[in-house]
Structure 1
Amino acid sequence: MFVERRYFERYTKETVFYLKIDNKSFEAKMIDYSLGGIGIIVKGMPRVGKGDVIDIAIKSPDISISGQVAWISSHNSGLRIGIENIGQIGGYIKDFRFSDTLIGLQRSQKTGLLRVELDKIIKTIHIRKGDMVFSASNQDEDRLGNMLVRKGKITPQQYAYSVARMKKKNQRLGKVLVSLGYLMPQELWKVVIQQVEEIILSLFTLKDGWFVFKEMPLPTAEVITLKLSTGNLIYYGIKKINNIEHIINELPSLDNILYFSSDPLHLFQDIKLDASGKKIISCTDNKSSIQEVVSASQLDNSEALKTIHALLSVKIAVTKSKDSFSEIPKDTREEILKGKVDPEIKYMVEDLYQRYKKLSYYELLGIQDSASNPDIKNAYYKAAKKFHPDIHFSLEDISIKKKLNQIFSYIHEAYTTLSRPYKREKYDNSLGIKPVLTPSRLDEARARFEEGRIQLRQYNYRGAELLFRQAIYFSESIAEYNYYYGLSLVKQKKFRAASHAIAKALKHNPFNADYMAELGIIYLELGLQKRAKGLFGKALEIDPEHILASKGVAKILKN
C-alpha cells in the first residue's frame, strides 16, 4: 500500500481504536485501509520508528494484521503513520470488494491459493503470477460430472459408470470420459474451462463470507493450467449479480460524470465486451453523468446500471465530480471497442524485447524530442495498447507475458518521465537536449498555466502543482508561473519547496511586492524571521499599504 505503485484499492473509513506500543495504550484513528495496509493517526507521541512492527486489531471493518511502519509524519493531534501489511492477505467480502482483490493480486503478480469460505461453502482459485489458472469447489453442483449432466453432455448413467471406472483405474474423470468415448478431447477442454470459470463467477454473487490468500508455489500435481483473463471474469462476474438494489448501493451518485480511465493498463484489458458493454462505451463521452449515459444507451435501466457497475469494477470507467478534469486521446473509445490483437504481435514483442533498453524514451514512443504533452500522451496510449500485458492471453508462448510486462513497464516509465516537466528536463539534460522556445511551446506553457489556476481555485492543489510545473518546463523565465507554482506548494504546506519557487519568481521580477510579501510569510513558517522581516520591509517600501506585508510585520512584532 505504501510503495510507489499501490496494487490494492484503498477504502476511506474513519474508525477509532486503541493501539499498544511499548506496553502503552494510545488512542488512534484509522483514516483508510486496503489489503496492503492502513493509514492511521495516533494521539500523543508514541516511540515508534520506520520499520517497527505493530499489531493492529480493529473491529469495524474487521482488520487484524501484523504491520510494518512504512512512513511517519507529524499531525495536529499526534502522528500520521502508514502501516504496510506484512502478514497474509485476507478479510471479509463485505469490507473488500472481490473485484478489487483479484485486480490487486493480478497487478502484484502473486502466486498462490485464494480461498473463499461462507458457512460450509469452500472455493479456491489457483493464481500464478497474478493470473487465475484454475479453481476448485467443495459443492456438488460445481463438480465436473454434475455440470456435464446438467448441460446434457452425458447421461446420469454414463456419469455413474465413469465415476466407478475412475475409482477403479485411479484416473481423472476427464481422462475416463474421453477413453470411454463419451466426450472428445476438445469438448472436455471447453467444459473444463466453463467449469473453472463458473466457480469463479459464482463468487461475485456472495454478499458475505471471508477470504484469505496464501502465497505459495502451486501444487505440481495439478496438470490443468488455464489462461483466464481477470478483467473478463470480473466483468461477467459482476453481471451475474441480479440484485439491482445491491448494484445501486455499490454505484456512486448517478449525477457523477462517467469518464474513461486515464490508465491504459485498465483501458486495454482483455475483455470481450457484450452488446450492453459496447453500448455503454459508445455513449460515454467524459461529459455525461451516469444517469445521462443510461438514458442515451436506451438499454433496460437495470441492465445499463449493471453494465456500468461492471465497467467501473474493472476500472475501464471511473467517476468524478462535475468540476473534475480528465483528458484522454480522442480515439480511445474506438480502440476499446476494436479490441483486436495484431497478428504480428508475437514477432513485434520479440523484436522490441531485444532492443528496448537501448532506446531512448523518445525512440520507444516514436516521437521527436520536441513533442508536446498531447503528442506524448497519444504515443503512450498507442504503445500501451499494442504491448498491453493482457495480450499474452491470445498467444501460446508462456514466455511472452514476462516480456510484455517488462516492455510495458518501460513504456510507462517513459511516459511518467516525459509527461512531468521537472523529470523531462532532467532526462533531456542527460541526453544533451536543450529545450527550444517556439511559439507552440509558449502557447503550451500558457495553456498549462491557465488550467493550473482553474485547479487551484477548485482546491485541487496537487493537480495545480503539476500543471504549473509543466508551464515552467515550457517557459521557465515567466515570473508568474513560478509564483503560482509556489502558491500551490504553500497550500500543501510544502514551505521549503515553495520558498525556492517564489524566490525564482522574484529573480525574474525583483520589484514585485506581492512576491516579496508571500515569500516573507513562507519564511515565517520556516522560522526564518530575520529574512521575513527584510522582505516585508522591501515590500512596504514599494507599496506602503501592502496588506499581506503589513500583517507579516504585525505578526513579527506580536511574537
Structure 2
Amino acid sequence: MGKENRCFKRFRRRIALNLSFDGTRLDAEAVDYSITGIGAVLDDDPDIPRDLNLNLSMSGFDIGYGRLAWKKKTASGMRVGIELIGPVRGSLEFYRLSDLLIGLQRTGKTGTLEVRSGAINKKIYIKNGDMVYATSSEDSNWLGDVMLHEGGITQEQYDRTAEIMKETGKKQGAVMVELGYLKPRDLFIALKRQVEKVIVDLFSLETGSFHFHEGPLPKEDVVVLNLSAANLIYSGIKSLRNEEYICGLFHAFDTVFRLSPDPLDLFQDIKLDDDDKDILALIDGKRMIKDILSLSSLSETDTLKTLFMLSSANIVQDISEIVSDEFTESPDLETEVEEDTISAMGEQTVEVPHEFIEKVEDLHGRLDKLGHYDIFGLDENASSVDIKRAYYSLAKEFHPDRHFHLNGDIKDKLSAIFTSLTNAYSTLNSPQKRSEYNETRKDGGTPVHSSGEEAAVEKFEAAIVEFKRGEYEEASRLFAQASYMDNSSAKYYYYYGFSLMKLKKFREAEKEIRNALRIDPVNPAYLAEAGHIYLKLGFPLRAKSNFEKALKTEPVNKRALEGMENLSRNIT
C-alpha cells in the first residue's frame, strides 16, 4: 500500500460520505480522498471497530469497502482516515481518468481497466503499468470504422469486409489483409491508431464508473502495443468539445500553477505543440489562471484545455498543494528546468540510439560501486544548487516514462537508476543527512546505490523502533516503504505482514507474508506466521500445511507448535 499511496493523486474536495457496518449507518463528510484512502470528518466519536470492513458510498455512489486506519479529535469534529481495500474502482465524477492512468502506470500493475458509461463498455489492458491494448463496445471505435473515418478504406471496402466477417467469423484486420486493403506491416499501425482512439474517446465521458481487475491479461485477442499514457492524456483532453464542461474543469480561476518539483512528473513522454509550450512558459508560480487567459494568444476554451492537460499530467501543480519547493534557493535553476521541460516535450523519443542502451547498461552495472556524489559526477564541495541541477539533468535523461517502449529488462534498469538518483538526492538535499553521509565517508564507509537498498535499511530500522513502541500503524507504513524501495528482501515483507497482523488486517498480511515466502520459501518463521494468518481467515487446511512445512525445517519452532495445538483444540 505504501507504493500505491505515492502513485495516486489525492483530491481535496468536500463530498457527502456514508459508512455502514453491522447494521449501523453513519453520515460523514469526506474532505480529501484518493484511490487508496479517504480522509473524513464525523460529528461525534462513534465506536468503529478497526478490524471490520466498512461499506462506503460517496454522494450515493458505492465505492466498496474500507477499514479505519486512524482517528483524531479536532475542533471541526472527529477526523478519521479510512484505508480502501479491494480492487481499484470508483466513479468518474470523483476521479479523473488521467490521474487513474498515470497512477496505474506508476504502480507497475498488470490487469484490465474496465470503464462503463451507460451502454458504453471499454477495456484498457495494462501490462506492468503500461497500456498495451484496448477494446470498445462502440461501433465508431472498431478498426473498420476508424479507418473509414480517416479515409484508409472506402465505404465499398468496408461493406465487403463486414460481409466476410459475418460469413467466416474472422477478425476485421485479418479480412482486410486477405483482401489486399491493408499490407500486413500496416495492420499493426492501423491497430495502434484504433486503440489510441478507444482510449482518447474516454476523455469525453463526463459520467461513468471504472473497475481495475488485477491479474494476467487474456492470452487471446490482445495485441501488445506500446502506448504513452502522457500523450494519450494530451490527445484526450485536446479532443474535448463541450465548452461548458471545459470551463467547469477548474473550480476557480484564481488558482496559481507552477512546475512540479518532481522530475518524475516533469520529463514524461509527451509532445506539446508550440501553442502549448507558449502557455507552459506563462506559468511562473505567480500568475493566476485568469492572468494566463488574458495573456494567451489562444481562445479561452483552448487555453483552459492546455492548462487542464498540463495539470492532469502533473507537469504543473496548484501551488497550494506543493509540499516542498525545490526552487526557493535558486530562481535561475527553476528557469533552466522550465526551459529544459519545454524542450523535452518537443523531443518525443521513438527510437533509442544504441549508445543510450549501452549507457544504461554501464551505469546500472556500476550502481553498487557509486556513492551519492559519484552518481551525479560531483565532489563533496558541490553546492546545493549544483546538486539540484545535476539531479534534474540526469532525471530527465533516465526517466523511465520517457522510454516506455523499451523492453522490460532495460526498463527495470532505468527504474533502478532513477531510484538511485532519487535516493542520492534525498540524502544530499537534506543538510542533516548530507552531514551524516559525509561523516560516514570520512570513517571509511562505502555507501552504495542498489535499487534503494540504503534508504530501505533506514526505513526498516525506523519501523522496528515504532513496532517495539506498539505504534503498529506507523510501523506498517515504514515497513511498506522499505519493501517498496528494496523488493528483494524477504524480511521487509515479513515484518510488513507481521505489523498488519497486529492491526488485524489479515488479508493484507497474508499477501505480504506470501511475498516473503516467494523470496525465502522454506523460512520456518514465515511459514508459521502464514499458518496463523490462515487460521484467522478460516482456512485450517492451508494453516496446517504451513505449520507442517515449518516444523519439517525447524521441529521446535514455537509458533508452528502453537498453531498445531490450536488446530487440534479446534478439531476436538
| C-alpha separation in 2, matches of 1:87 and 1:67 | 8
Matched, 1:105 2:104: yes
- Is contact 2:56-2:64 (8 Å) kept? yes
Residues 160 and 187 of structure 1: is their aligned pair in 2 closer, same or farther, counting only changes over 3 Å?
same
Query: Any residues of structure 2 matched to 1:186-197 within 5 Å, and which?
Result: 186-197=185-196
Match of 2:431 in 1: 421
3-state SS in 2 of match to 1:107: helix
CA distance in 2, matches of 1:176, 1:61: 47
Query: What secondary structure does 1:331 align onto?
Result: helix
Compute the displacement of 1:308 (Å): 1.3
Q: What is the deviation of 1:45?
A: 6.1
Partner of 1:46: 47
1:36 alignment counterpart: 36
CA deviation after TM superposition for structure 1 residue 134, in Å: 0.6
Cα contact 2:33–2:39 (8 A) shared by 1: yes
Aligned to 1:240: 239
Correspondence 1:338 to 2:349: no
Q: Percent identity?
A: 39
Which has the bigger relative contact order, CA under 8 A and spacing at least 6?
2
| Whole-Å separation in 1 of the counterparts to 2:275 and 2:108 | 30
Q: CA distance change for structure 1 residues 247 and 394 in 2, over 3 Å: closer, same or farther? A: same
User: SS state of the match for residue 56, structure 2?
Assistant: strand
TM-score (norm 1): 0.70
C-alpha deviation, 1:236, in angstroms: 1.4
| Separation (CA, whole Å) in 2 of partners of 1:283 and 1:19 | 44
Q: Within 2, Cα distance between the matches of 1:207 and 1:148?
A: 26
CA offsets, 1:45-80, max 9 Å, x none?
A: 62645xx34313234263432224444545468754
Q: Report the equivalent of 2:361.
A: 350
For residues 138-190 of structure 1, what are the alpha-carbon distances to aligned partners after superposition, in whole Å with 9 as ceiling and x for unaligned? 11111111222222322333334334445666543223322322112333222
Q: Which moved more, 1:292-301 or 1:180-189?
A: 292-301
Separation in 1 of the partners of 2:196 and 2:18? 42
Match of 1:10 in 2: 10
Counterparts of 2:410 and 2:238, CA distance in 1? 31
C-alpha distance in structure 1 between counterparts of 2:392 and 2:219, whole Å: 39
Residue equivalent to 1:412: 422
**Aligned residue-pair number:** 431
Q: How far apart in 2 are the matches of 1:284 and 1:59?
A: 34
Partner of 1:390: 401
Q: Which moved further from structure 2: 70-79 or 211-220?
A: 70-79
1:378-435 C-alpha deviation (Å, 9 max, x unpaired): 111011101001232354x34222221221122112112221223333333333379x
Q: Per-residue CA shift, 1:83-103, capped at 9, x if unaligned?
A: 222211111111111111111
CA distance in 2, matches of 1:266, 1:369: 28
Question: Is contact 1:44–1:77 with CA below 8 Å preserved after alignment?
Answer: no
Q: Which shifted more, 291-300 or 141-150?
A: 291-300
TM-aligned CA distance change 1:29 to 1:54, over 3 Å: farther
CA distance in 2, matches of 1:330, 1:121: 45
2:417 partner letter: I
Q: 1:373 matched to which residue of 2?
A: 384
Is the Cα–Cα contact under 8 Å of residues 200 and 235 in structure 2 kept in the other structure? yes
Name the structure 2 match of 1:308.
Answer: 307
Cα 1:120–1:366 change in 2 (3 A) is same
Residue ranges of structure 1 left out of the alignment (5+ in a row): 435-559
SS at match of 2:374: helix
RMSD (Å), alpha carbons: 2.9
Name the structure 2 match of 1:399.
Answer: 409
| AA matched with 2:39 | G
* Greater displacement, 403-412 / 192-201: 403-412
1:2 touches 1:70 (CA, 8 Å); kept in 2? no
What's the CA shift for 1:106?
A: 1.2
Moved more, 347-356 or 413-422: 413-422
Which amino acid is 1:428 matched to?
N
Distance 1:168 1:226 in 2: 29
The 3-state SS of whatever aligns with 2:437 is helix
The farther-off stretch of 306-315 and 280-289 is 280-289
Shift of 1:210: 1.1
CA distance change for structure 1 residues 148 and 55 in 2, over 3 Å: closer, same or farther? Answer: same
Residue 172 of structure 2: aligned partner: 173
CA distance in 2, matches of 1:22, 1:170: 51
User: CA separation in 2, counterparts of 1:151 and 1:18?
Assistant: 47
Deviation at 1:17, TM superposition (A): 5.2
TM-score if structure 2 supplies the norm length?
A: 0.69
Report what 2:218 is aligned to: 219
Q: Which aligned pairs between 1:420-499 and structure 2 lie closer than 5 A?
A: 420-432=430-442
- Residues 381 and 136 (structure 1 numbering): CA distance in 2 closer, same or farther, change over 3 Å? same
Further displaced range: 319-328 or 383-392: 319-328
Instruction: Give the unaligned 5+ runs of structure 2.
Output: 328-332, 445-572
Measure, in 2, the Cα distance between the counterparts of 1:431 and 1:219. 51
CA offset at residue 26 of structure 1? 5.8
Partners of 1:19 and 1:26 within 8 A in 2: yes
Residues 225-264 of structure 1 mapped to structure 2, 5 A cutoff: 225-264=224-263
Distance 1:120 1:94, change over 3 A: same
Maintained 8 Å contact 2:133/2:222: no
Say if 2:164 and 2:175, in contact at 8 Å, map to a contact too.
yes
